[in-house]
């Protein structure tokens, strides 16, 4: 249904007449969501235009879209839709799945706590996917949504400890000049932060979360400078205009027949298709400068400065600003003056970061800078001294998700610049179950090769993947197995013995993730050097965990922490939150004042991350209790007070 997606089955979908944009262009909502696609980590609706016939009668242009419901979560995250809270805000708050208890708890905390206090903000970060929340706010504010934030908002979370709220974006017909409140000059930032807005579109309860978060310096600086980054990348003028033109071209030939069927469609504003499309293009051209003025006024920012960003060799590494990739080399971006800019240099496998040149000469690949004048910045990379030069077992799919079954496959990577002739090499479990590479099989330097069990199944679901060979005459056991790569002289070049239980990462066992090596130069015999990929893995491409791990200070905790419980005092439930920087066996227990253990809340192997667990003390009497976190050699204890 949507050729760019890996998903091939749908429980349902939407067939939309373009809503309020039926009167203007027929694709405004779809265009704004297309801008987000592959750019922002927001749950959006994919789009495809269609011509509808009902019982053979022509019914005009209708947009096919994904439906944002529990089935969407199942398809995109492989999470059971019955195990989520899905909240819809449309002039009031309701749960489409699950209940509103966790949402109300979050809003209660935000309402009653000062988020300028870092510990309070850290708690919100533990239950909210903060980068996604910021991007969601930016998308709505930049696009000037005149029917938001008091309406058209969805968010969801998995109902388990440590899960975080994620946002869904939809119904964007009033953006890009599609409404009197959605013009390029509309101050949507003021609308989104107003303390006294009307019942529609921005009552105070709908702006509360953003207003309270902006009291925190870390959040405010990230929000401000990330907005600039998005204007430089996702919403760069030429990119936006090109996407508008492309989508307009996709339906232009059908507009005359559609207008004949529905004469009043595309009749407002410019009163014709070309004129209404031009309104969106004018918005794209004028919105960046105008909205930057809104930010400067709101936050008393002195002005903007340019930063020329480059790399000495684009093939050797990538650059990120505020975790957003700078895809072009040698480009000038505009940032807000005197606000920290987060920068990161990510060397590609086989290379290393040396230093920065320009506004900073730091040798730290991940740092921040502040500019008050127009500046330059260059990342210097160089070839690394390789500890591993022979082909590496780099990614293993040993149990596919039921909804996306490619069957088993193994990815090899050649870290050397020189090609390797694989003729006569074998990949197998032992001397019996082996696959022999045929003459002409070559693994080129710094490239990948995917060896599959069933090429028909694999190619039907992953047609975009190149460098695929097969078929394996054997599969891998979901409880653990052995994989080895052997040359014609029967010398073992590489081997991995993995398990689906601790100390190995467990997520690749049927969830849709793959077992992915964090760096081809690390010892792949060690469980700690493997992580779970994102959904369905990255065959014939750089492992997504490579970028994530090398940027771990932005993604994963750096130390063990046991936080203060909330609320405290409490009656009868309280939330206990903690973080661990590495995979470990974790025990969270509660003791009375005599040292007797009265509850074990967690007792399991857990991956690095931030977690929260609820304790219900309804059967206990008022008094002082203690809770303890134990993970490896780390132990911490804090006090809590039950008041009934």
- From 223, 37, 236, 31, select the one nearest 133 (Cα to Cα): 223
Rounded distance between C-alpha atoms, residue 70 and residue 84, angstroms? 8
Range of the domain at 328: 304-383
Adjacent-strand bridge partners of 449: 412
- From 626, 617, 640, select the one nearest 566 (Cα to Cα): 640
Last residue of a domain, one of 485, 513, 543: 543
Residue 328 and residue 207 in one domain: no
Rounded distance between C-alpha atoms, residue 24 and residue 271, angstroms? 8
- What percentage of the chain exceeds 70 in pLDDT? 98
Residue 234 and residue 377 in one domain: no
Residue 309 and residue 374 in one domain: yes
In a domain, 332, yes or no: yes
For residue 100, the 8-state DSSP code is: S
pLDDT tens digits, one per residue of 378-413: 999 999 999 899 999 999 999 999 889 999 999 999
Residue 512 and residue 603 in one domain: no
How does residue 582 score in pLDDT terms, banded at 50, 70 and 90?
confident
In a domain, 552, yes or no: no
Please spell the DSSP secondary structure of 284-339, one letter per residue: HHHHHHHHHHHHHHHHT---EEEEEEEES-GGGEEEEETTEE--SSSEEEEEETTS
- From 491, 640, 531, select the one nearest 577 (Cα to Cα): 640
pLDDT tens digits, one per residue of 498-519: 999 988 999 999 999 999 999 9
Spatial neighbors of 74 by CB under 8 A, at least 6 apart, are 11, 80, 81, 403
Rounded distance between C-alpha atoms, residue 319 and residue 337, angstroms? 21
In a domain, 455, yes or no: yes
Tell me phi and psi for residue 250, to 5 degrees: -65, -25
Tell me the whole-structure pTM to 2 decimals. Answer: 0.85
Task: State the total domains in the chain.
Answer: 4
**Strand arrangement, sheet containing 561-562:** 561-562, 573-580, 609-616
Strands 609-616 and 573-580: antiparallel
Q: Lowest mean pLDDT: which of 278-292, 322-336, 342-356, 573-587?
A: 573-587
Q: What is the pLDDT of residue 355?
A: 96
Rounded distance between C-alpha atoms, residue 514 and residue 505, angstroms? 10
- What percentage of the chain exceeds 90 in pLDDT? 85
Q: What is the mean pLDDT of residues 234-238?
A: 97
Q: Does position 55 have pLDDT exceeding 50, yes or no?
A: yes
Spatial neighbors of 45 by CB under 8 A, at least 6 apart, are 14, 33, 65, 66, 67, 68, 170
Q: What is the pLDDT of residue 548?
A: 60
In a domain, 18, yes or no: yes
In a domain, 548, yes or no: no
Rounded distance between C-alpha atoms, residue 383 and residue 131, angstroms? 32
Residue 448 and residue 343 in one domain: no
Task: Indicate the burial class of 253 (C-beta count within 10 angstroms; 0-12, 13-18, 19 or more).
Answer: exposed
Residue 317 and residue 462 in one domain: no
pLDDT tens digits, one per residue of 426-476: 999 987 899 999 999 999 999 999 999 999 999 999 999 999 999 999 999
Q: What is the pLDDT of residue 91?
A: 81
Residue 315 and residue 233 in one domain: no
CATH no. for residue 604? 2.60.40.1930
Q: What is the pLDDT of residue 556?
A: 53
Q: Does position 329 have pLDDT exceeding 90, yes or no?
A: yes
Length of the chain, please? 644
Place of tokens 């706590």: 113
Residue 135 and residue 186 in one domain: yes
Residue 122 and residue 238 in one domain: yes
Q: What is the pLDDT of residue 351?
A: 93
Q: What is the pLDDT of residue 550?
A: 44
pLDDT tens digits, one per residue of 80-96: 999 999 999 988 899 99
In a domain, 498, yes or no: yes
In a domain, 24, yes or no: yes
Residue 539 and residue 572 in one domain: no
- From 136, 314, 311, select the one nearest 226 (Cα to Cα): 136
In a domain, 594, yes or no: yes
Last residue of a domain, one of 517, 543, 569: 543
Rounded distance between C-alpha atoms, residue 64 and residue 76, angstroms? 18
- H or E stretch including 156? strand 153-158
Residue 568 and residue 535 in one domain: no
Last residue of a domain, one of 299, 324, 347: 299
Please spell the DSSP secondary structure of 540-591, one letter per residue: TS--HHHHHHHTHHHHS-SS-EEPPPBSSSBSSEEEEEEEESS-EEEEEEEE
Q: Does position 5 have pLDDT exceeding 90, yes or no?
A: no
Q: What is the pLDDT of residue 577?
A: 86
Rounded distance between C-alpha atoms, residue 381 and residue 358, angstroms? 15
Q: What is the pLDDT of residue 549?
A: 46
Residue 277 and residue 218 in one domain: yes
Are 201 and 151 a contacting pair, CB within 8 Å? yes
Query: In whole numbers, what is the pLDDT of the chain averaged over residues?
Result: 93
């Amino acid at each position: 249904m949507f050729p760019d997606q890996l998903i091939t089955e749908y429980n349902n979908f939407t067939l939309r007449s373009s809503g309020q944009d039926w009167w203007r262009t027929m694709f405004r909502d779809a265009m704004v969501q297309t801008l987000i696609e592959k750019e922002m980590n927001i749950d959006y609706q994919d789009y495809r235009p269609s011509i509808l016939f009902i019982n053979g009668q022509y019914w005009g242009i209708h947009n096919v879209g994904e439906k944002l419901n529990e089935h969407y979560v199942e398809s995109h995250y492989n999470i059971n839709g019955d195990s989520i809270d899905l909240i819809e805000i449309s002039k009031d708050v309701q749960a489409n799945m699950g209940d509103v208890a966790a949402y109300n708890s979050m809003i209660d905390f935000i309402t009653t706590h000062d988020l300028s206090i870092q510990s309070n903000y850290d708690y919100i970060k533990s239950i909210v996917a903060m980068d996604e929340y910021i991007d969601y706010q930016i998308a709505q504010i930049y696009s000037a949504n005149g029917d938001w934030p008091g309406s058209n908002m969805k968010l969801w979370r998995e109902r388990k400890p440590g899960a975080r709220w994620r946002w869904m974006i939809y119904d964007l017909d009033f953006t890009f000049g599609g409404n009197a409140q959605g013009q390029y000059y509309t101050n949507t930032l003021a609308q989104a932060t107003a303390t006294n807005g009307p019942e529609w579109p921005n009552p105070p309860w709908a702006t509360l979360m953003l207003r309270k978060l902006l009291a925190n310096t870390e959040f405010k600086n990230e929000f401000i400078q990330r907005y600039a980054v998005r204007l430089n990348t996702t919403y760069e003028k030429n990119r936006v205009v090109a996407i508008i033109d492309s989508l307009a071209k996709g339906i232009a030939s059908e507009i005359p027949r559609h207008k004949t069927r529905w004469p009043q469609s595309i009749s407002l504003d410019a009163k014709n298709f070309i004129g209404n499309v031009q309104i969106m293009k004018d918005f794209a051209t004028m919105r960046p400068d105008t909205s930057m003025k809104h930010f400067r006024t709101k936050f008393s920012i002195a002005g903007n400065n340019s930063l020329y960003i480059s790399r000495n060799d684009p093939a050797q590494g990538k650059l990120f600003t505020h975790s957003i990739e700078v895809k072009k080399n040698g480009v000038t971006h505009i940032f807000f003056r005197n606000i920290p800019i987060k920068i990161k240099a990510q060397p590609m496998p086989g290379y290393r970061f040396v230093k920065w040149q320009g506004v900073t000469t730091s040798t730290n690949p991940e740092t921040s800078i502040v500019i008050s004048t127009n500046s330059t910045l260059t990342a210097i990379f160089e070839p690394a001294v390789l500890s591993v030069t022979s082909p590496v077992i780099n990614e293993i799919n040993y149990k596919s998700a039921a909804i996306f079954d490619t069957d088993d496959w193994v990815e090899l990577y050649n870290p050397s610049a020189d090609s390797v002739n694989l003729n006569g090499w074998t990949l197998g479990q032992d001397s019996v179950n082996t696959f022999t590479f045929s003459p002409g099989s070559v693994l080129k330097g710094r490239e990948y090769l995917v060896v599959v069990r069933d090429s028909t199944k694999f190619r039907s679901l992953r047609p975009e993947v190149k460098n695929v060979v097969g078929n394996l005459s054997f599969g891998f056991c979901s409880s653990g197995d052995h994989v080895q790569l052997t040359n014609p002289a029967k010398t073992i070049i590489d081997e991995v013995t993995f398990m689906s239980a601790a100390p190995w990462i467990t997520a690749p066992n049927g969830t849709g993730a793959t077992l992915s090596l964090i760096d081809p130069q690390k010892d792949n015999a060690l469980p700690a050097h493997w992580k779970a990929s994102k959904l369905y893995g990255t065959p014939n491409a750089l492992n997504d965990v490579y970028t994530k791990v090398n940027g771990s200070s932005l993604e994963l905790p750096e130390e063990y922490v046991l936080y203060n419980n909330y609320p405290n005092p409490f009656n009868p439930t309280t939330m206990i939150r903690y973080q661990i920087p590495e995979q470990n066996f974790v025990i969270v227990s509660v003791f009375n004042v005599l040292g007797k253990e009265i509850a074990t809340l967690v007792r399991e192997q857990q991956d690095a991350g931030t977690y929260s667990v609820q304790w219900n003390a309804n059967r206990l009497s008022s008094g002082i209790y203690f809770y303890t976190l134990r993970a490896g050699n780390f132990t911490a204890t804090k006090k809590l007070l039950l008041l009934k």
